[in-house]
Every structure is written in C-alpha cells, then in structure tokens.
Structure 1
Amino acid sequence: MELNLAPFDVDGTFKANHLHHIEHACIATAFSLHALFAILLDKFRPTKHESNIDIGHFLVTMAFTQELLLFHFHTTDHVGLEGQYHWLLQQIVLVCLIFTLLSLWLPKSFMVCYVRSLSVIFQGLWLIVMGYMLWTPEFAPKGCGLRKDNYGRDVIKCSDEESLHRAKALVNILFSWFFIGMMGFGVSFYWSVSKIFEVNNNELMEVGVEEGDCCTSGEDNQGFLQGKRVLPFDLEK
C-alpha cells in the first residue's frame, strides 16, 4: 500500500514527500520475510536441531533492529507532536528487541517469551493509536490541528509552544494509560490461563494420568495435546 502511492518522480528518483512511505515499506518487508522464513523453517525443518528456532529469533531480531533505526532516523518531524508519538514507539520497539535478543540465550524462559509477546501486542496497539490520533482532526489536542507541511503531508501542528507542551503531556498520559492497561491485561491473562491449566491438570490426576505421560495416540510429540485436553506445558523443561 505504501509503494502504491507513486513514490517515484518522472526521472526515476524518490520523491521527498514519499520517503517515509518507503521506510514503512522496508519495515513491513523485513517482518514479512521473517514470517515467511519462520513458516518454512517450521514446516520443512532442514535440521532437527533447535537452531531452527534460533534462526527465527535472529531474523526477528534483525527486523526489530531495522524498525528501531528507521523510526529513530525517520524522515518525518521528530520535534512536534508526531515526534513524541514516534519517540514513545521507539521505547516499545527497544523492549521488543532486547527481549528477542534474550530469547537467543534463554529460549526456554517463560518470562522472556511472555514479556516479548506483551511488548509486541503493546507495539501494535500503539501503532493503531498513532493512526487514529495523528490523522483524525477530531482527536487533535486543543490549540493544534491538521496542516500541510513543507512536503505537502497532513501533520498535526500546534499554534504555540504552550499548546505543543500540553499536547505532548497528553500523549505521555495516553501512553501511561495503555501501559497500565497492558500491566493489567498481562497479569489477568496469565492468571486466567494458569487456572485453565490447573483445572485440566486436576482432571488428569483424577483419572490417574501423570503430567507429561504419552499415554494415547492423540498426544503429539511434545506432550502438549491429548485429544481435546490441554496438558500443562512447562517452557523451562
């Protein structure tokens, strides 16, 4: 979609007002390649070693690194309100990158995988928030509005410094609300899933099935599925 906006000029060079579209397309391409190779590695398994998972972690690490660099050196405004949204987004991407790197050394750590998953969800939510808040005129803070920049882009501009500082403070508060919401969601989801696993484990113990036993043909090689039951799965093992 980004590249369908005619980013090339008549002489074949990139248009200045479309450079940010090309940057977004590069980010999307990196994650698409990671997804493609992750599916292929999981389906065909060129080796039976755990290096297949490590390669997947390496690819997504490279994708997060590119995303962080492109947003850090983004061609759009890093000074105004849009820059504040991008700066906060960089912090989330950095957390995703750090915990993905940790996955290379601690691939079986539950907390590393869980925090990484929550940070990816947080990044997706914040991108959606940016899409609505930056390009919906009704959501512009008081004293600010959508205007054309030097390249003809619609961006939020504030009338004075006081309005800009107030708008940035509102962005920080909005980010804090979502951060608190992710804290509540993370603990609540973990608690709910733990209860489900605990109930299934109790049911299995009542019928004399030990955790991890491969007792039926319906169970997979990892001891994760058994018919319609979900057996407790310990990442640390």
Structure 2
Amino acid sequence: MGSFLGHVYPGLGFMFIGLWHLFNTIRNYVTCPWDFRTRTWFPTRFKGRFLKYLELLGIIAGSCLSISLELFIMPAKHQPLAEDWSIPVVHLKNFEHSTISFFFILYATVAIYMETHKLHMAEGMLHVIAALVFSQELFIFHQHSTDHMGLEGHYHWLLQLIIMVGLLSIVLELQLPYSFVASMVRSVSILFQGLWLLHMAFMLWIPACIPEGCEMQHDWDLGHGAVFCLDEKATLRAKALANLQFSWYLAFLLMFTMGMYISMLRFYGENGIYKPVNGVDNKVFEMGEEQGGHSQSSMDLVIDHDEENLGIER
C-alpha cells in the first residue's frame, strides 16, 4: 500500500474473494438450508487436481505479488534495506503490509496442505487461523508506523471498522457453525473491505477525486505522498464526505446482498419452498380444522405419506 496501485491490487483481491464467498454462502444455504455449515474457503467445480483450490491458490499468488510490490518493485533501490541491512523508517510500512500478506499465505497454505494430504483437522481450526489473520491485519492498521492523520487517518479508521466486523463474524461462526447470517456478514465484510480499499485508492491518490480544500503533498517523513487539508473546516468537510461515502457503500451492499439472495432463492431454492406431499395440501389441514378434533389425524396422514415415500426411496 502507500500508493495507488498498493490499494488497487489488494482491493481487487478482497473484492473478488468477497463476491466468491457471498455467492457460495447464499447458494449453499438456499439449496440445502437444513445442512448448511459455515466455511472459510470454497472449492471450485473445475476438473483438475489443483483447480479445486483456485481460491486458496489465488490468495497465495496475490499475497506473493503484494509482498513483491512492497519489498522489491516499488522501493527506489528495489530492495527495502539500508546499507547496513537495517530497516529504514520510510520502509517500515512496506514490511508491515508484507506481514499482513504473509499471514494470508500461511492461512491458505495450511488449508491446501491439510486438504490435499487428507489430514484430520479439528472442527473450527481454519476459523481460528482466519480469525488470527484478521486480528493481525487489524493490529497492523491500528498500530501503523505511518501515523495516519487527518483525512487519510479517517479513511483508515473506517477500514478498521470493516475488518473488525469481519473478525467478529468469524468468531461468531466458531460458536454458531450452522449460522447462515454470520457467514453472510463475514462474506459481505470481505467484499466491503475490497471496495473500500479501491475507494481509498481513488479518493487519496487521484487529484481529481481529492475533496475540495485538500491536496496531495509529499511528506518526506512518511516516505510517500499524503492528503493534507488546508484548514480545520476543510478537514471536517472531507471527513463528513467520507462518512457519507461509507454509508452509501453500506446501503449499496445491503441492496446488492438482498438482491442476490432473492435471485438465488428463486433460481436455486426450490428445495426450500413448501410443496404438497402426493397432492395432500393445505386443504387437508383446513378440513381438519373444520372437523374440530380431527386436525391431528390429518397431520398424521401427511407425515405417514412422507415416511412411506422416504422408505421407498431408501
């Protein structure tokens, strides 16, 4: 990070992973709600030994690219160390961002290794590792060596809120492994993190998008450019706009998620919709209610029909 591309690449990664998780979470629930379980990653349906793990391989590849950008491509000398092999102050942020990416590599590598070698993993172990990754990401951004102030600091504070929601939802999944709501919130938070990183890239690095009364200046202490507002009034206005943008993104994600849920419920969710059993529909129950005490026998009739059908299928 610390540049336009440094926000765009991870933003795209989080966005695609969030969309993939949201799609699979909703699909798994609407197709089989009674057998739903939360997952930290989703296999693809492509044929091939490793194509199944395309999500995890993408996380590893994207994280390696991020580390390469931070430590070898973006630094002027194409390496982040000083002549005495110490870490200069201006490159501390590069090591911090690379550490975040390294934790994602650890998570994906463990998941692939345990899956390919068919090793038994205790229930919830991957959730614990994922929670550790998000905790470390939140810790790095909260204790950043680059002391984000003003508008840039406000954008990063809002980013920490998104990460915290994702972390809390993963912890909730440990306690409620069958909770569709917790899994959906976690998926939306990953998508939101990606969108917000992309938004930060444009609002903090594209001059035409920077709020009125603020401008990009190079800060030699930070080692990169940063947005500074001319006065307190301009700062307050820029922060208020950021809050509005955050709220609009949240509203968009709410509409998008509910639209996807309703669409997939119509497309996939036939198993979750009530269907009459062998032509016995609600009229049976209505007849039972009209006859007074015979409603229970009508319900038994429906249950008996269902049990007979299950017996034949078995």
TM-score (norm 1): 0.80
The one-letter amino acid of 2:149's match is V
Indicate which of 149, 171, 180 corresponds to 2:251. Answer: 180
Who is 1:219 aligned against? none
1:168 and 2:236 aligned? no
C-alpha distance in 2 between matches for 1:82 and 1:205: 58
Matches for 1:36-47 after TM superposition, within 5 Å: 36-47=109-120
Larger Rg: 2
Q: CA deviation at 1:79?
A: 2.1
C-alpha distance in 1 between matches for 2:80 and 2:115: 36
Indicate which of 57, 63, 82 corresponds to 2:152. Answer: 82
Who is 1:156 aligned against? 227
Per chain length, whose mean CA-contact separation is higher, i.e. which structure has more relative contact order (CA < 8 Å, sep 6+)? Answer: 2
1:7 and 2:114 aligned? no
The one-letter amino acid of 2:140's match is L
The one-letter amino acid of 1:176's match is S
TM-score (norm 2): 0.61
Q: CA deviation at 1:198?
A: 2.8
5+ long unaligned stretches in structure 2:
1-68, 278-305
Q: CA deviation at 1:40?
A: 2.1
The one-letter amino acid of 2:70's match is E
C-alpha distance in 2 between matches for 1:101 and 1:120: 15
RMSD: 2.4
Who is 1:25 aligned against? 98
Q: CA deviation at 1:128?
A: 1.3
5+ long unaligned stretches in structure 1:
214-237
1:107 and 2:177 aligned? yes
* 1:138-171 CA-partner distances (Å, limit 9, x unpaired): 1111111110113231111111111111111111
Q: CA deviation at 1:205?
A: 9.3
The one-letter amino acid of 1:160's match is D
C-alpha distance in 1 between matches for 2:116 and 2:259: 33
C-alpha distance in 2 between matches for 1:180 and 1:40: 39
Q: CA deviation at 1:201?
A: 6.9
The one-letter amino acid of 1:3's match is L
Q: CA deviation at 1:200?
A: 6.7
The one-letter amino acid of 1:58's match is V
Identity of aligned residues (%): 39
Indicate which of 138, 141, 156 corresponds to 1:68. Answer: 138
The alignment of Structure 1 onto Structure 2 pairs a total of residues equal to: 207
C-alpha distance in 2 between matches for 1:156 and 1:60: 33
The one-letter amino acid of 2:263's match is S
Who is 1:191 aligned against? 262
C-alpha distance in 1 between matches for 2:136 and 2:92: 16
The one-letter amino acid of 1:188's match is G
C-alpha distance in 1 between matches for 2:141 and 2:254: 25
1:140 and 2:248 aligned? no
C-alpha distance in 2 between matches for 1:177 and 1:57: 30
